């Protein structure tokens, strides 16, 4: 009886508010001018709000790529690796420096005390072109090139992983919206059924136990509605954190969760994965870098050639012309450094590099095996999700029809209250399962994208 009084009071309050609003709209209600001012202020407040952002999946992906810290970190590592490659290439080319030097030497009666100096005052101002020719520099460039390629592949891995995360969050929002609508429908159905049992009890057609069961069911549906509303809120917040640089939950997602999306054939997936898989490419470039390290370590056994060319002045006066004519001149030097003995450190570095190369080769083999296994596993997951999706859709339709028919049978006295309650529960479960199945299929397609690089879109 307490619940009945609450429902009646709620209805009276709702009706009173409706009549008040109607009177305000025609200018006949009490304080109609205040109502108009309030409506005007409300409209201005609405206009001042941030416009709703309408997002497609591609919009969400583009925003996530800009704002994802992990993805941007992978791009930064790739850019740093490119600069390392540029520096390694520049090290192979001649370098030019310009040196200025003034030397003062202490004198004695026979001349400067330091035999390397040409006079008491010596001034050097000259350009120096320096070049080193050795195998170590070439191997460093090859290693930097392979490392840059591996960093690009890791950035691609981060990008594809981000796609999976965004797809899962994006369609989780769409599914949460559908679940909320289904929960709203079942809650309304529970309210109607509760009222129906009350009416039938008043007519002496059902027992009071039916009313109690209907009220319990109504309370359960209301709790499910609150949980669905909370789930929708959390899903929206999770997606907002991914795609917006600042906190903004004023957005809408496109309602394409149940759009028909074809599944590529297994042969197409295998061909694209063999061509585009970044995990294998990163492992392969790591092997190349390790091989360059071995070559660079072995270069420690080989001689290196240094070439220098100087042009400028090296005289007792800081001037282009001196007492004996022009001070400008040039000099050249070639130096060959031949390693003789370093207590086995070169051999140790070679052994280290070979150990790293062997480990890189094992990791490459593992990446190739994992690719073959993941192709079959992820494709089977997507195929199973697609096959189950049709059945889940049919189950949701049948549950809706069953609930309608069971309610009609109960009104005519041909069904029990337990049958209606069971039909309501079945409808709620089948509706939620259908939304979860749609998300599962979308995420399975996104996981295939990590292998093929192609995101199947509606």
Task: Name all domains of the chain by residue range, CATH numbers in brackets.
Answer: 141-298+359-458 (1.20.1600.10)
User: pLDDT tens digits, residue range 149-172?
Assistant: 999 999 999 999 999 999 999 999
Q: Is the dihedral of CA 401, 405, 408, 413 positive or negative?
A: negative
Q: Is 229 exposed, middle or buried (0-12, 13-18, 19+ CB in 10 A)?
A: middle
- 34-38, 143-147, 291-295 — which is least confidently predicted? 34-38
Task: Find out whether 143 and 353 touch, Cβ atoms under 8 Å.
Answer: no
Helices 135-202 and 345-411: crossing angle in degrees, nearest 10, is 10
Q: What is the DSSP string of 104-144?
A: E--EETTEESSTTSSSSEEEEEEEEEEEEE-HHHHHHHHHH
Q: Which residue do the tokens 């001149």 mark?
A: 329
Q: What is the pLDDT of residues 111-145, one digit of tens each?
A: 665 656 666 778 889 999 999 998 999 999 999 99
Q: What is the mean pLDDT of residues 402-419?
A: 90
Residue 149 makes CB contacts below 8 A (sequence gap 6+) with 281, 285, 288
Q: What are residue 123's DSSP bridge partners?
A: 102, 315
Q: Read off the pLDDT band of 437 (50, 70, 90).
A: very high
**What three-state secondary structure class fits 69?**
helix
pLDDT (tens digit per residue) in 380-398: 999 999 999 999 999 999 9
- State whether residue 28 is helix, strand or coil: coil
The β-bridge relationship of strands 321-322 and 325-326 is antiparallel
What's the confidence (pLDDT) of residue 48? 43
Mean pLDDT of 252-260: 87
The pair phi, psi for residue 316, each rounded to 5°, is: -80, -10
Nearest of 407, 193, 220, 6 to residue 201 by alpha carbon: 193
Residue 6 predicted with pLDDT over 60: no
pLDDT cut 70: percent of the chain above it? 86
- Which residue, chain included where needed, has tokens 């320096």? 130
- DSSP percent split of the chain into helix, strand, coil, nearest 5: 70, 15, 20
Q: Which residues are registered as beta bridge partners of 133?
A: 305
Rounded Cα distance, 293 and 341, in Å: 21
List pLDDT tens digits, range 51-77. 888 999 999 999 999 999 999 999 999
Write the CA distances from 295 to 151, 359, 361, integer angstroms: 21, 16, 16
pLDDT at 32: 39
Residue with tokens 């337990």: 418
Residue 228 has pLDDT above 80, yes or no: yes
- Tell me how crowded residue 270 is: count the other CB atoms within 10 A of its CB: 17
pLDDT of residue 314: 84
How far apart CA 431 and CA 313 sit, in angstroms, is 89
**Residue 182 near residue 429 (C-beta atoms within 8 A):** no
Average pLDDT value for the chain: 85
Residue 16 is predicted with a pLDDT of 41
Q: Is 267 helix (H, G, I), strand (E, B) or coil?
A: helix
Most confident of 184-188, 312-316, 411-415: 184-188
At residue 38 the predicted structure's pLDDT band, cuts being 50, 70 and 90, is: very low
Average the pLDDT over 268-288 and give the result.
90
pTM of this structure: 0.75
Residue of higher predicted confidence among 46 and 268: 268
Neighbouring residues of 80: CB distance < 8 A, sequence distance ≥ 6: 151
CA separation for the pair 111, 373 (Å, rounded): 83
Tokens of 313: 């002045």
Q: Comparing 259 with 83, which gets the higher pLDDT?
A: 83
Residue in this structure with the two tokens 């965004």, named with its chain if needed? 166
pLDDT at 46: 43
Helices (H), 206-277: 208-243, 266-276
Asked if pLDDT for residue 176 goes beyond 50, the answer is yes
Indicate the pLDDT class of residue 24, thresholds 50, 70 and 90. very low
Specify the residue for token string 């995420």: 443
Torsional sign, CA 130, 132, 138, 139? negative
DSSP letter, residue 299: G
């Amino acid at each position: 009886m307490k619940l009945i009084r609450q429902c009646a009071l709620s209805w009276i309050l709702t009706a009173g508010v409706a009549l008040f609003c109607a009177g305000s709209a025609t200018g006949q209600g009490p304080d109609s001018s205040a109502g108009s001012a309030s409506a005007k202020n409300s409209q201005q407040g609405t206009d001042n709000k941030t416009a709703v952002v309408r997002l497609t999946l591609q919009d969400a992906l583009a925003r996530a790529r800009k704002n994802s810290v992990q993805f941007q970190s992978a791009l930064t590592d790739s850019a740093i690796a490119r600069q390392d490659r540029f520096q390694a290439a520049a090290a192979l080319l001649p370098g030019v420096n310009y040196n200025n030097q003034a030397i003062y030497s202490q004198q004695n009666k026979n001349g400067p005390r330091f035999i390397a100096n040409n006079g008491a005052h010596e001034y050097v101002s000259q350009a120096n072109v320096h070049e080193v020719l050795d195998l170590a520099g070439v191997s460093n460039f090859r290693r930097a090139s392979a490392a840059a390629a591996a960093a690009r592949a890791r950035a691609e891995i981060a990008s594809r992983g981000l796609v999976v995360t965004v797809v899962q969050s994006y369609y989780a929002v769409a599914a949460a919206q559908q679940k909320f609508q289904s929960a709203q429908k079942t809650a309304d159905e529970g309210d109607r059924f509760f009222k129906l049992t009350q009416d039938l009890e008043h007519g002496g057609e059902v027992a009071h136990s039916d009313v109690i069961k209907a009220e319990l069911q109504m309370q359960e549906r209301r709790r499910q509605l609150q949980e669905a509303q909370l789930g929708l809120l959390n899903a929206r917040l999770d997606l907002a954190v991914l795609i917006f640089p600042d906190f903004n939950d004023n957005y809408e997602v496109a309602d394409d969760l149940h759009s028909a999306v074809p599944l590529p054939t297994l042969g197409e997936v295998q061909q694209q994965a063999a061509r585009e898989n970044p995990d294998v490419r990163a492992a392969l470039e790591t092997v190349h870098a390790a091989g360059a390290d071995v070559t660079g370590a072995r270069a420690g056994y080989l001689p290196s050639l240094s070439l220098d060319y100087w042009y400028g002045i090296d005289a007792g006066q800081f001037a282009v012309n001196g007492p004996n004519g022009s001070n400008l001149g040039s000099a050249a030097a070639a130096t060959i450094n031949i390693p003789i003995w370093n207590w086995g450190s070169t051999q140790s570095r070679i052994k280290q590099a070979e150990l790293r190369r062997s480990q890189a080769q094992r990791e490459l083999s593992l990446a190739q095996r994992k690719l073959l296994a993941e192709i079959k596993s992820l494709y089977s997951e997507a195929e199973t999700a697609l096959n189950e999706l049709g059945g889940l859709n049919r189950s949701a339709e049948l549950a809706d029809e069953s609930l309608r028919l069971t309610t009609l049978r109960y009104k005519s006295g041909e069904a029990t209250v337990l049958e209606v309650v069971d039909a309501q529960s079945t409808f709620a479960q089948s509706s939620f399962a259908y939304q979860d199945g749609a998300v599962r299929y979308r995420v399975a397609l996104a996981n295939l994208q990590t292998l093929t690089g192609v995101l199947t879109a509606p």
